[in-house]
Each structure stands twice: as C-alpha cells, then as structure tokens.
Amino acid sequence: MAVLDDLSGFEFEDLMEDVFRNLGYENVRQAERTADEGRDVIMEEVVDGTRRAIIVECKHTGTVGRPVVQKLHSAIATFDFDGPKRGMVATTGRFTNPAEEYADRLQRNDDPYPIELIDGEDLREIADEIGLDLYNGRIEILCDETLRPYDPAADADAPVQEAFRDIENIEAADLPVPHSQVTFRPVVAITADTNAVFETSVGVIHRINDRTQFVVHAERGHPKVANDEVATLVTENFHATVPLDTGQFTEEFDNIDERRFGQTQTEYKEWAVDRLQDYHTTTVTYTGDNNVTYNKTCEPNLSDISVQSIEPVYLPEVRQTTEILEYSYPYEYYAAGPSRVTLEDGIHRCVHCETSGVDETYTYCPNCGAIACDSHIKTERLEGKPVCTGCAVTERFALKTKYFYDEENRDTFRKEYAEMPLHEKAMENKLLAGGSVVATLLLVVGLLVIGGII
C-alpha cells in the first residue's frame, strides 16, 4: 500500500469518502476538519426499509488501539440523528487486540451503537470490489454493462457471412468458421452545458449557450472523442445494454478481453471540461465606441462549463478472421447487437492491389483462396472458371496470354490446342482473328477496285 502510506490524514479521509460512495452508501460527506469529535466521514444506509446513520473515524496510522474505538462510541451516542446509528473505524494499519475485543463485545451485547473495524487487509478486499488501486490511491470508474457484442437473433459470425455474400464465385455456406475475438472497450457518454457571456464597453460581443453531447474512448491515459458513427452507435443503443458477464460469451467467441476504465470519474470530467474550454474558445471581431475594430479572444472560464452526466458503458470491438487456403481475411467492427461500425474490412479488398471498398466487384479464386478485383481475376482457359493473376500459370496461344490453375492444366490445354483445326486455333485470339478477317476483306475490296471490277 505504498502510496496510501504517503497520504496525509486528510488525504486518507478524502480517499475513504470516495470509497464509501463507490460502495453504495448514501449522503456520504466529511465532517468539519476542526474539532470533528471523532467523526471524519458521515453517511447513511437503508436496511430493511430503515435509514441508519454511520459515523466513520479514519486513522491513517500503523496501529489503532481501544481508546479510538471508545471515543467513536461516544461520538455516535451524541450524534444528532433521528434513527438508528452505527460506527466504523477504517485504518491502513491494524487494530490491537483490546480494540477488537471492545468492538466484538458491542456486537455480542446488542449495543445500540455497534462499531465495525476495517483494517488494511479489509481495504485490500474492498479495493478488489470497487476497482481501487491501493498503489496509486485512485478509484476507477466501475461498470458492469456492455452493448451486445452480437445480434442475439443470429449467429455471432453473421456479419462475416453477410460480407462474403458480396464476393462472386463463393458461397457463404462453404466458408470455414472464422476465429473470433471480442474486446470490451470502455467508453463514456458525456453531456455538458456551457454558458458564458463576454462583454466590453460596447455591450455583449459573444454569448455561448450550448449543450454538448459526445462519446469518449475511455482507456486510461488515452481519452479520445469518438467519431460520429461510433457516438451514434453508442447513444442509440444505451437502452439495450446487457450485463458484462464474460462467461456468457465464451460459446460465441474464441477469445475475450475486458479492458479497464483506468481513470476516475473526476479525471474524465476534468478532461471534458478542458476540451470544451478549448472547443468554445474563439476570436471575436467588434467595433469599439471610437469606431476602431478590435479582436478579442473569448475563452469560457472552467466554471462556465458544467458536466451534467458521465455514463460509462463497454463497447464491444469484434475481430473475426477467416482463413481460406493461402489468405487470411480480417473483419473488425464495433458491435451493438445487430448494429455495427466497421473498423477494418479485409473481405472487400483485393489481395493484389489497393482496390478496396464495397462499391467494387471482387471474385474469389478457388485455386489459392484469393479475393481479387476485376483487374486481377481472369477466366481459367481449361475449366472456364475464375483464377487470380497471382497464382495462375500463363502461356501465349495465338499470340494471346492464357491463364491456368497449374502446369498440369496448361499442358492438357497445350495438347488440345495442338489438335485444333486452324480456324479454332485462330479463335483463341478473337480480336486478332477478327482483325485478320477485316484486313482480308479490305485487301479483296482493294484488288477489285484496282481491277476495275467495282
């Protein structure tokens, strides 16, 4: 608990206030820091419909003895609250045996003011429960809700099957099952109001009255505003979240990874306020009373920006990779049930060039497994089926290049070609054959003209 040991007593009280708030206690607040009469943190809980006050003494010390517990018992008794009351002593160290025996006796005797003891070991267990890093004294955002990583009405690999339907010469039913992995990435949806008025001697020159809503990729140390597509995906599906129980997804995905938010709600709030301050800062041109034109930079104060809500949720990033013969086809996207935003589409992409995008035509080569654009797909001469230029064996027949799956196919066609009559051989290059016919006709016509026949 290295960093906890470096905290001052007041800093430890601040930390414990955040701890109790994250544990779900209500109306958590600190007492006055002077003459607190043994009361550092005050909060409430509801048990069986009854609201109860809890008075907490925080001791950032190595050992806590019985006098501290006794003092707290007196402080509970004199605390003004209309209802039942109990106490806690929280320490980074340990309690002496007399302190523990005193607290136990209160419990056994059904004392009206029982006291719970929380030592350093208990704090470690609480840390695991609420996401508190005891080594840096921070409480991360906790979230147990995620957008759906796949459409529950379809197979998890349905997006991949859908993408392959656009590829010619391949049936989606014949595809191997892709290797799939899902990474649950933290995002926060932030709503903030900015209200600021800028005045000079001539009056109001600029006014900001704006509500901003945006989604932030929230991994620790790298907050980044999501683009409009991702923001829409998140905000439109907030109503359809499901519990993040990674065990329920093991049948649909080969690998599952859950990332941490890694930062506190306060840190995200401060980051959002700084960003909005920069976003709304602008230079305004106005004319003064002396008819002189001035430029003034209008920067809202931090107090002009109010964050209304920070809503955390996990956004599934799904990556499915289909291995076909010599090639691997990744398809990666953010998912929210049947909705998704594509991050990488390795299916609508030629393996031989930079051609990509769903508006192009692609054909599957069964010889090597390549997906190729029109410029890199040919018709195999012997079987009349597609073959890509990357794997095809070539040879020229009738001065035209022919494409074959392999040397065996080429040799077979070579034999067929040798046995073809001349006119069939000529048709292996229809353009050349057509040109020859036209040239012959022109020659005949020319001779007839010269001979005066026509």
> In terms of pTM, does the model score above 0.85?
no
pLDDT at 357: 95
CA angle (6, 12, 16) in 5-degree steps: 140
pLDDT at 234: 97
CB atoms within 10 A of CB 391: 18
Highest mean pLDDT among 6-10, 169-173, 213-217: 213-217
Average pLDDT over the chain, rounded to an integer: 88
Whether pLDDT at 434 is above 70:
no
pLDDT at 122: 87
pLDDT digits (tens, 9 = 90+) for 354-376: 999 999 999 999 999 999 999 99
What distance in Å separates the CA atoms of residue 92 and residue 89, rounded to the nearest whole number?
10
pLDDT digits (tens, 9 = 90+) for 326-353: 999 999 999 999 999 999 999 999 999 9
Q: Residues 123, 5: contact at Cβ < 8 Å?
A: no
pLDDT at 113: 96
| Token pair 């905000």: residue | 235
Which residues partner with 188 through β-bridges? 216, 312
pLDDT at 409: 97
Whether pLDDT at 254 is above 70:
yes
Q: Residues 226, 187: contact at Cβ < 8 Å?
A: yes
Whether pLDDT at 277 is above 90:
yes
Q: What is the mean pLDDT of residues 114-142?
A: 76
What distance in Å separates the CA atoms of residue 89 and residue 101, rounded to the nearest whole number?
14
pLDDT digits (tens, 9 = 90+) for 3-38: 566 677 777 887 888 788 878 888 888 876 544 444
- By DSSP bridging, strand 371-373 and strand 377-379 are unpaired
SS (H, E, C) the chain: CHHHHHCCHHHHHHHHHHHHHHCCCEEEEECCCCCCCCCCEEEEEEECCEEEEEEEEEECCCEECHHHHHHHHHHHHHCCCCCCEEEEEEECCEECHHHHHHHHHHHHCCCCCCEEEECHHHHHHHHHHHCEECCCCEECCCCCEECCCCCCCCCCCHHHHHHHCCCECCCHHHCCCCEEEEEEEEEEEEEEEEEEEEEECCEEEEEEEEEEEEEEECCCCCCEECCHHHHHHHHCCHHHCEECCHHHHCCCCCEEEECCCCCCHHHHHHHHHHHHHHHHCEEEEEECCCCCEEEEEECCCHHHEEEEEEEEEEEEEEEEEEEECCEEEEEEEEEECCEEEEEEECCCECCCCCCECCCCCEEECCCCCCEEEHHHEEEECCCCCEEECCCCEEEEECCEEEEECCHHHHHHHHHHHHCCCHHHHHHHHHHHHHHHHHHHHHHHHHHHHHCCCC
pLDDT at 425: 85
What distance in Å separates the CA atoms of residue 56 and residue 122, rounded to the nearest whole number?
15
Whether pLDDT at 80 is above 60:
yes
Lowest-confidence segment of 34-38, 116-120, 130-134, 355-359 by average pLDDT: 34-38
pLDDT at 129: 76
pLDDT at 34: 45
Q: What is the mean pLDDT of residues 285-307?
A: 91
Q: What phi and psi values does residue 169 have, to the nearest 5 degrees?
A: 75, 20
